[in-house]
Amino acid sequence: MLHILYIIAITAEAMTAALSAGRRNMDWVGVCIIAWVTALGGGTIRNILLNHYPMTWVEHPEYLLVTAGGALFAAVLASVMKRLKILFLYLDALGLVVFTIIGCQLAEQLQLPVLIVLLSGMITGCAGGVLRDVLCNDIPLLFRKEVYGSVSIVTGGVYVGIIYLGYGDQWATFTAIAIGLALRILAIKYEWQMPKFVYQDDWEK
Protein backbone atom coordinates (compact mmCIF):
# COMPACT_ATOMS: atom_id res chain seq x y z
CA MET A 1 0.00 0.00 0.00
CA LEU A 2 2.76 2.43 0.98
CA HIS A 3 4.49 1.38 -2.24
CA ILE A 4 1.53 2.45 -4.40
CA LEU A 5 1.29 5.75 -2.55
CA TYR A 6 5.03 6.19 -3.17
CA ILE A 7 4.63 5.78 -6.94
CA ILE A 8 1.71 8.22 -6.99
CA ALA A 9 3.71 10.70 -4.91
CA ILE A 10 6.90 10.66 -6.98
CA THR A 11 4.87 11.11 -10.15
CA ALA A 12 2.96 14.05 -8.69
CA GLU A 13 6.17 15.63 -7.38
CA ALA A 14 7.76 15.24 -10.81
CA MET A 15 4.76 16.90 -12.46
CA THR A 16 4.77 19.97 -10.21
CA ALA A 17 8.57 20.14 -10.48
CA ALA A 18 8.17 20.42 -14.26
CA LEU A 19 6.30 23.68 -13.74
CA SER A 20 9.21 25.04 -11.65
CA ALA A 21 11.51 24.14 -14.55
CA GLY A 22 9.15 25.84 -16.97
CA ARG A 23 9.21 29.02 -14.91
CA ARG A 24 12.98 29.06 -15.57
CA ASN A 25 12.59 28.37 -19.31
CA MET A 26 14.39 25.04 -19.25
CA ASP A 27 14.52 22.63 -22.18
CA TRP A 28 13.31 19.02 -22.00
CA VAL A 29 16.54 17.72 -20.44
CA GLY A 30 16.27 20.39 -17.75
CA VAL A 31 12.63 19.47 -17.11
CA CYS A 32 13.55 15.79 -16.65
CA ILE A 33 16.51 16.53 -14.37
CA ILE A 34 14.53 18.91 -12.15
CA ALA A 35 11.75 16.30 -11.98
CA TRP A 36 14.17 13.50 -11.01
CA VAL A 37 15.96 15.63 -8.46
CA THR A 38 12.69 16.76 -6.85
CA ALA A 39 11.00 13.36 -6.79
CA LEU A 40 13.98 11.11 -6.03
CA GLY A 41 16.54 13.54 -4.56
CA GLY A 42 15.42 13.32 -0.95
CA GLY A 43 15.83 9.56 -0.76
CA THR A 44 19.11 9.81 -2.67
CA ILE A 45 20.64 12.30 -0.20
CA ARG A 46 19.41 10.19 2.71
CA ASN A 47 21.02 7.07 1.20
CA ILE A 48 24.32 8.91 0.68
CA LEU A 49 24.34 10.17 4.28
CA LEU A 50 23.43 6.76 5.73
CA ASN A 51 25.66 4.83 3.29
CA HIS A 52 22.73 2.76 2.06
CA TYR A 53 23.27 1.40 -1.44
CA PRO A 54 22.21 0.82 -4.16
CA MET A 55 20.00 3.82 -4.81
CA THR A 56 16.28 3.10 -5.26
CA TRP A 57 16.38 4.35 -8.85
CA VAL A 58 19.39 2.18 -9.71
CA GLU A 59 17.46 -0.89 -8.60
CA HIS A 60 14.23 0.38 -10.17
CA PRO A 61 15.14 2.43 -13.28
CA GLU A 62 11.43 2.38 -14.14
CA TYR A 63 10.98 5.13 -11.53
CA LEU A 64 13.12 7.34 -13.75
CA LEU A 65 10.81 6.64 -16.67
CA VAL A 66 7.62 7.22 -14.67
CA THR A 67 8.82 10.54 -13.28
CA ALA A 68 10.29 11.77 -16.58
CA GLY A 69 7.06 10.77 -18.32
CA GLY A 70 4.97 12.61 -15.76
CA ALA A 71 7.14 15.71 -16.02
CA LEU A 72 7.04 15.91 -19.81
CA PHE A 73 3.30 15.23 -19.75
CA ALA A 74 2.89 18.11 -17.28
CA ALA A 75 5.02 20.38 -19.47
CA VAL A 76 2.79 19.68 -22.47
CA LEU A 77 -0.42 20.09 -20.49
CA ALA A 78 0.69 22.99 -18.28
CA SER A 79 -2.60 24.81 -18.71
CA VAL A 80 -4.53 21.78 -17.44
CA MET A 81 -2.13 21.45 -14.49
CA LYS A 82 -3.01 25.01 -13.55
CA ARG A 83 -6.67 24.15 -13.10
CA LEU A 84 -5.76 21.10 -11.01
CA LYS A 85 -3.63 23.18 -8.66
CA ILE A 86 -5.49 22.10 -5.51
CA LEU A 87 -5.28 18.41 -6.43
CA PHE A 88 -1.51 18.70 -6.88
CA LEU A 89 -1.11 20.57 -3.59
CA TYR A 90 -2.83 17.62 -1.91
CA LEU A 91 -0.69 15.08 -3.79
CA ASP A 92 2.37 17.06 -2.76
CA ALA A 93 1.21 16.82 0.87
CA LEU A 94 0.81 13.06 0.38
CA GLY A 95 4.35 12.90 -0.97
CA LEU A 96 5.76 14.77 2.01
CA VAL A 97 4.08 12.41 4.47
CA VAL A 98 4.81 9.18 2.58
CA PHE A 99 8.46 10.08 1.92
CA THR A 100 8.91 10.99 5.59
CA ILE A 101 7.57 7.63 6.77
CA ILE A 102 9.70 5.70 4.27
CA GLY A 103 12.75 7.59 5.51
CA CYS A 104 11.93 6.79 9.13
CA GLN A 105 11.35 3.11 8.28
CA LEU A 106 14.74 2.78 6.63
CA ALA A 107 16.60 4.35 9.56
CA GLU A 108 14.60 2.13 11.95
CA GLN A 109 15.73 -0.96 10.03
CA LEU A 110 19.33 0.22 10.25
CA GLN A 111 18.76 0.50 14.04
CA LEU A 112 19.88 4.08 14.21
CA PRO A 113 19.16 6.37 17.20
CA VAL A 114 15.71 7.92 17.34
CA LEU A 115 16.99 11.42 16.52
CA ILE A 116 18.56 10.08 13.32
CA VAL A 117 15.32 8.24 12.50
CA LEU A 118 13.43 11.55 12.63
CA LEU A 119 16.14 13.33 10.65
CA SER A 120 16.15 10.56 8.04
CA GLY A 121 12.41 11.09 7.63
CA MET A 122 12.80 14.82 7.28
CA ILE A 123 15.62 14.53 4.74
CA THR A 124 13.63 12.03 2.66
CA GLY A 125 10.55 14.24 2.81
CA CYS A 126 12.08 17.65 2.25
CA ALA A 127 15.52 17.50 0.61
CA GLY A 128 14.17 16.95 -2.90
CA GLY A 129 12.39 20.29 -2.81
CA VAL A 130 15.50 21.99 -1.44
CA LEU A 131 17.61 20.59 -4.29
CA ARG A 132 15.01 21.74 -6.81
CA ASP A 133 15.12 25.27 -5.41
CA VAL A 134 18.94 25.33 -5.36
CA LEU A 135 19.09 24.21 -9.01
CA CYS A 136 16.43 26.79 -9.97
CA ASN A 137 18.49 29.39 -8.08
CA ASP A 138 15.80 30.17 -5.49
CA ILE A 139 16.13 30.42 -1.73
CA PRO A 140 14.72 27.06 -0.65
CA LEU A 141 11.01 27.49 0.04
CA LEU A 142 11.22 24.91 2.81
CA PHE A 143 13.17 27.31 4.94
CA ARG A 144 10.85 30.25 4.52
CA LYS A 145 7.24 29.50 3.77
CA GLU A 146 4.93 26.76 4.70
CA VAL A 147 5.04 24.51 7.70
CA TYR A 148 6.58 21.88 5.47
CA GLY A 149 9.49 20.98 7.72
CA SER A 150 7.36 21.02 10.85
CA VAL A 151 4.76 18.68 9.30
CA SER A 152 7.55 16.26 8.42
CA ILE A 153 8.85 16.28 11.99
CA VAL A 154 5.36 15.72 13.46
CA THR A 155 4.69 12.89 11.00
CA GLY A 156 7.98 11.23 11.91
CA GLY A 157 7.33 11.78 15.60
CA VAL A 158 3.90 10.13 15.45
CA TYR A 159 5.29 7.20 13.46
CA VAL A 160 8.23 6.63 15.79
CA GLY A 161 6.09 7.15 18.89
CA ILE A 162 3.55 4.49 17.91
CA ILE A 163 6.32 2.04 16.97
CA TYR A 164 7.93 2.59 20.38
CA LEU A 165 4.55 2.00 22.07
CA GLY A 166 4.59 -1.41 20.40
CA TYR A 167 1.57 -1.08 18.06
CA GLY A 168 3.51 -2.29 15.04
CA ASP A 169 4.47 -0.75 11.71
CA GLN A 170 1.02 -0.84 10.08
CA TRP A 171 -0.77 1.16 12.75
CA ALA A 172 2.14 3.58 12.96
CA THR A 173 2.14 4.14 9.21
CA PHE A 174 -1.61 4.59 8.98
CA THR A 175 -1.86 7.01 11.91
CA ALA A 176 1.18 9.03 10.84
CA ILE A 177 -0.20 9.42 7.29
CA ALA A 178 -3.59 10.52 8.64
CA ILE A 179 -2.20 13.07 11.12
CA GLY A 180 0.50 14.37 8.76
CA LEU A 181 -1.95 14.82 5.87
CA ALA A 182 -4.51 16.52 8.09
CA LEU A 183 -1.92 18.94 9.45
CA ARG A 184 -0.60 19.83 6.02
CA ILE A 185 -4.06 20.30 4.52
CA LEU A 186 -5.11 22.50 7.44
CA ALA A 187 -1.88 24.47 6.99
CA ILE A 188 -2.68 25.02 3.31
CA LYS A 189 -6.31 25.91 4.01
CA TYR A 190 -5.71 28.37 6.83
CA GLU A 191 -2.31 29.55 5.56
CA TRP A 192 -0.54 28.62 8.75
CA GLN A 193 2.97 29.91 9.12
CA MET A 194 5.64 29.17 11.66
CA PRO A 195 7.05 32.19 13.47
CA LYS A 196 9.95 33.52 11.45
CA PHE A 197 13.31 34.74 12.59
CA VAL A 198 13.81 38.04 10.83
CA TYR A 199 17.21 39.60 11.21
CA GLN A 200 18.57 42.63 9.42
CA ASP A 201 22.18 43.48 9.83
CA ASP A 202 25.31 44.33 7.93
CA TRP A 203 27.23 41.64 9.81
CA GLU A 204 29.11 39.81 7.15
CA LYS A 205 30.43 36.68 8.77
Residues 55-84 that bind its own copies (CB under 8 A): 55, 57-58, 61, 64-65, 75, 78, 82
Decide whether 170 or 194 has the Cβ nearer to its own copies.
194
Is residue 31 a contact residue for its own copies (CB under 8 A)?
yes
Contact 180, 158 (CB under 8 A): yes
Binding of residue 50 to its own copies (CB under 8 A):
yes
Give one DSSP letter per residue of 63-102, joined into a string: HHHHHHHHHHHHHHTHHHHHHTHHHHHHHHHHHHHHHHHH
Taking CB under 8 A as the rule, does residue 109 contact its own copies? no
- Give the nearer residue to its own copies in terms of CB position, either 89 or 179: 89
Answer yes or no whether residue 199 interacts with its own copies by CB under 8 A.
yes
Question: Cβ(102)–Cβ(2) under 8 Å?
Answer: yes
Least distance from its own copies to the Cβ atom of residue 52, Å: 9
Say whether 110 sits in a helix, a strand or coil. Answer: coil
- Interface with its own copies, residue 204, by CB under 8 A: yes
Q: How many CB atoms lie within 10 A of CB 2?
A: 15
CB 11 within 8 A of CB 72: no
d(CA 24, CA 137): 9
What number of chain residues touch its own copies (CB under 8 A)? 72
By beta-carbon proximity to its own copies, the closer residue of 81 and 163 is 81
Closer to its own copies by Cβ: residue 78 or 165: 78
CA 188 to the chain's CA centroid: 16
Q: Cβ closer to its own copies: 46 or 172?
A: 46
> What minimum distance in Å lies between the beta carbon of 189 and its own copies?
16
Residues in contact with 106: Cβ distance below 8 Å, sequence separation at least 6, in sequence order: 46, 50, 52, 120, 124
Find the length of the chain.
205
The contact pattern for its own copies, residues 10-29, with x = CB under 8 A and - = no contact, is ------x-xxxxxxxxxxxx
Residues 148 to 187: which contact its own copies by CB under 8 A? 148-150, 153
